[in-house]
Amino acid sequence: MLMDSSFFLTIVAAAFAIGFFIFLRKLRIHQENEDVGSSSTSPPSSLASSTSPPSTLSSSTSHPSSSTSPPSSLSCTGTHHVFPSFRGDDVRRNFLSHIQKEFRRKGITPFIDNEIRRGESIGPELIKAIRESKIAIVLLSRNYASSKWCLEELVEIMKCKKEFGLTVFAIFYEVDPSHVKKLTGEFGAVFQKTCKGRTKENIMRWRQAFEEVATIAGYDSRNWENEAAMIEEIAIEISKRLINSSPFSGFEGLIGMKAHIEKMKQLLCLDSTDERRTVGISGPSGIGKSTIARVLHNQISDGFQMSVFMKFKPSYTRPICSDDHDVKLQLEQQFLAQLINQEDIKIHQLGTAQNFVMGKKVLIVLDGVDQLVQLLAMPKAVCLGPGSRIIITTQDQQLLKAFQIKHIYNVDFPPDHEALQIFCIHAFGHDSPDDGFEKLATKVTRLAGNLPLGLRVMGSHFRGMSKEDWKGELPRLRIRLDGEIGSILKFSYDVLDDEDKDLFLHIACFFNDEGIDHTFEDTLRHKFSNVQRGLQVLVQRSLISEDLTQPMHNLLVQLGREIVRNQSVYEPGKRQFLVDGKEICEVLTSHTGSESVIGINFEVYWSMDELNISDRVFEGMSNLQFFRFDENSYGRLHLPQGLNYLPPKLRILHWDYYPMTSLPSKFNLKFLVKIILKHSELEKLWEGIQVSIYHSFMKFILF
């Protein structure tokens, strides 16, 4: 009876699992069918939530400011975050006092000018206060234009916005924004009265400042039934901006970055609001192109209606055909998903992304471009709205020439003194050597070369070592380093212990593409004594970053894959990992995979025909633990005889477009941690009853 009861429970569990899986699959299909209709019409998020009253001046603008970081942050000696410009008689006792109370609740410090004596023009104290602010709030009330002091404040604020990137919020308090812009109505009448006896030059400066501030998407109090709700919305948005902004703190530890950003801003010509411009950033891998683009994007993105930072994974196989429809379609899909921050978006025709952004002022950053098709698939600058900018980073200057990009910033190696500073930041924690280490640091910097990535890696390697340890390492550096980038990076790999080396190779060959998520430790627990400690070591050595979605620089990925390739140059089936698409095809069709293979990362960036493989293709690879065949492959693994065997030690099964209606009936789920079968033909998990499902069902993740 006990056996019968156990068997009955197993059958019930299996039936539940199968039914649940089929339900998920049907739900997924239904959602994918719905995606096209919903996502294509969903606007980008704006200042107000979907339940809030309209708060923007223009429906086509989604940011309340047109720039980001001001020239300086709230340092240890700073006293305020926000500079408010207002007409005291109109708002000081009501709206202003309420918003200041909300600011205090959220830890936002406004500038208080009660003790400053007002006169005909604003003095150096106020100019300093404006320039030291992170955000300026212009509270435009009925009598705002009656004060020459307010007018001069506004001129200075708009000047700082233009010259230093000061973030500006406009609040239209019981006034019509169009009256502010055109200086008409009651607001205009007040302005005309103030202008009497003033010079034409001053009047023109004030008019221009009003025109500029009125074009910023702002908050119109007339659209809010509840003033408290509007104040809370404003305070929340300012809190977000303060948290996300990093003026000049973004340069901390980034030696020479300020100069790079200034040169890029000159090339972008941001002052030209009618022009659409594309700028390329070129240079060798590890020189800092992506970092420059990221810092620049963070600084200027708020000046655009929409912005996107799209990072391309490096292509390790042959070039993709520039006319490949499927490739372009997927690239457009990725672009839109990142632009509107909506995963699983589906499009069915080329040009959808371009139509979506047509006429809008957009900032597009395309990072790591290495194939022409990646540029051809993106929206064209000519179709974007006035003031739009496109930034492209690439190692291949020929791509920029092919795309007829005239404005190119070639990132050069840092000069010797900056190279030493970069090294010291990572070796000592500050930009100069510790006492007694001056000559040693200079020698290591020269040996390592001036490549920023190499300097970071080498600095991290030497951090915490004694002077004697440094001296002991120098002879080895002279022997191993021949000026090649790979040698610089491999030096840091060589000094790892065997377990950390193995973890590095796992990430380089498989998990950099898969990502390090919450299942990572469970997946590798059997292999490594302390996964988290291993990750910490790699971070400390600058071999991975703390961005776990794609933690390893592509140069280090190439290093790791080259190390694995050298395990068996001419017989790939005897390597630890298979990552090259062509070699994987050869191994699968010739049945030359061996017990040495623990991972296959079949992420092909070029079109391929259907690949016919045997039903027992994996039998020779009994130790295979990680299998990834993702949708970027644009091809299919065809199994004309079905699939009778999957390796019993599989821990990750990621097979997009899985061609069978079920998994092999003898597939062992004991070790499985993650299973991803997007766009598959799967109808049920397997034929018959899988006895181990009761114990394993909750261990893996279904997508």
> Average pLDDT of 442-470?
86
Which value, to the nearest 10 degrees, does the dihedral of the CA atoms of residues 117, 122, 127, 128 take? -20
Q: What is the 3-state secondary structure (H, E, C) of 625-661?
A: CEEEECHHHCCCEECCCCCCCCCCCCCEEEECCCCCC
Is residue 563 located within the same domain as residue 680?
yes
Q: Averaged over 671-695, what is the pLDDT?
A: 71
- Can you give the CATH number for the domain in which 387 is found? 3.40.50.300
pLDDT at 306 over 80: yes
Quick one: average pLDDT of 302-313? 86
- Average pLDDT, integer, range 604-620: 74
What tens digit of pLDDT does each residue of 275-290 get?
999 999 988 778 889 9
Domain assignment present for residue 46? The answer is no
pLDDT for the residue numbered 148: 87
The pLDDT tens digits for 554-579 are 778 888 998 999 999 999 999 999 99
Give me the sign of the Cα torsion angle 263, 265, 268, 271: negative
294 shares a domain with 178: no
Q: pLDDT tier at 665 (50, 70, 90 boundaries)?
A: confident
Apex 296 CA angle, 294 and 302, nearest 5: 105
Strand partners, 408: 280
- pLDDT for residue 52 is more than 50: no
Q: Write out the residue range of the structural domain in which residue 351 sits.
A: 249-410
pLDDT band of 604, cuts 50, 70, 90: low
Number of domains into which the chain is organized: 4
Q: Given this model, what pLDDT does residue 54 score?
A: 33
* CATH code: domain of residue 151: 3.40.50.10140
Residue 462 near residue 497, CB atoms below 8 Å: no
- What is the reported pLDDT for 56? 31
**Could you tell me if 134 and 212 lie in one domain?**
yes
Among 47-61, 460-474, 631-645, top mean pLDDT goes to: 460-474
Q: What element of type H or E holds 542?
A: none
Domain boundary among 440, 466, 494: 494
The one-character DSSP state at 153 is: H
What is the predicted pLDDT for the residue at 281? Answer: 95
114 occurs within a structural domain: yes
In a domain, 684, yes or no: yes
| Residue 389 DSSP label | E
Q: Is residue 59, in this structure, part of any structural domain at all? A: no
Do 492 and 524 meet the contact criterion of CB atoms below 8 Å apart? no
Last residue in a domain, options 410, 438, 466: 410
Q: Give the pLDDT of residue 121.
A: 55
CA-to-CA distance for 334 and 328, rounded, in angstroms?
A: 10
Res. 600: pLDDT tops 90: yes
d(CA 471, CA 524): 37
- Inter-axis angle of helices 416-428 and 452-462, to 10 degrees? 40
The residue from 358, 380, 410 where one domain ends is 410
Residue 528 belongs to some domain of the structure: yes
Let me know whether 619 and 525 are in one domain.
yes
Roughly what angle, to the nearest 10 degrees, separates helices 148-164 and 200-214?
60
- In this structure, the answer to whether residues 642 and 691 fall within a common structural domain is yes
| Residue with the larger pLDDT of the pair 525 and 11 | 525
Q: 375 and 512 share a domain? A: no
Sheet containing 306-311: which strands, arranged edge to edge? 306-311, 362-367, 389-394, 277-282, 407-410
Q: What is the model's pLDDT at position 26?
A: 45
pTM for the structure as a whole: 0.51
44: in domain: no
Give the pLDDT of residue 138: 92
CA distances from 658 to 140, 197, 422, 584, 586 (A): 60, 80, 47, 17, 20
308 vs 686: which has the higher pLDDT: 308
Is 380 in the same domain as 470?
no
213 contact partners, CB below 8 Å, separation of at least 6: 138, 140, 154, 157, 158, 168, 170, 180
* Average pLDDT over the chain, rounded to an integer: 79
168 in helix, strand or coil?
Answer: strand
pLDDT interval class at 540 (50, 70, 90): confident
* Residue 363 placed within a domain: yes
> Which residue would you say has higher pLDDT here, 479 or 293?
293
Same domain, 223 and 359: no
229 falls within a domain: yes
277 and 174 within one domain: no
Sign of the CA dihedral running 452, 458, 463, 468: negative
Do 580 and 551 belong to one domain? yes
Assess contact for 324 and 634: CB atoms under 8 A.
yes
Residue 279 is predicted with a pLDDT of 96
Q: Please write the tens of the pLDDT for every residue from 328-387.
A: 888 888 898 888 777 778 888 888 888 888 988 999 999 989 888 889 889 888 889 999
**Whole-number Å distance between alpha carbons of 309 and 246:** 17
Q: What is the mean pLDDT of residues 644-665?
A: 88
Q: Are residues 395 and 454 in the same domain?
A: no
Residue 376's CB is within 10 A of a number of other CB atoms, namely 17
Check if 153 is active-site: yes
Q: Are residues 377 and 228 in the same domain?
A: no
pLDDT confidence tier of residue 657, bands split at 50, 70 and 90: confident
Residue 182 one-letter amino acid: K
- Half-sphere exposure in the Cβ direction for 370 (13 Å, CA): 17
The pLDDT value recorded for residue 302 is 79
Of 132, 152, 153, 473, which residue is the catalytic one? 153
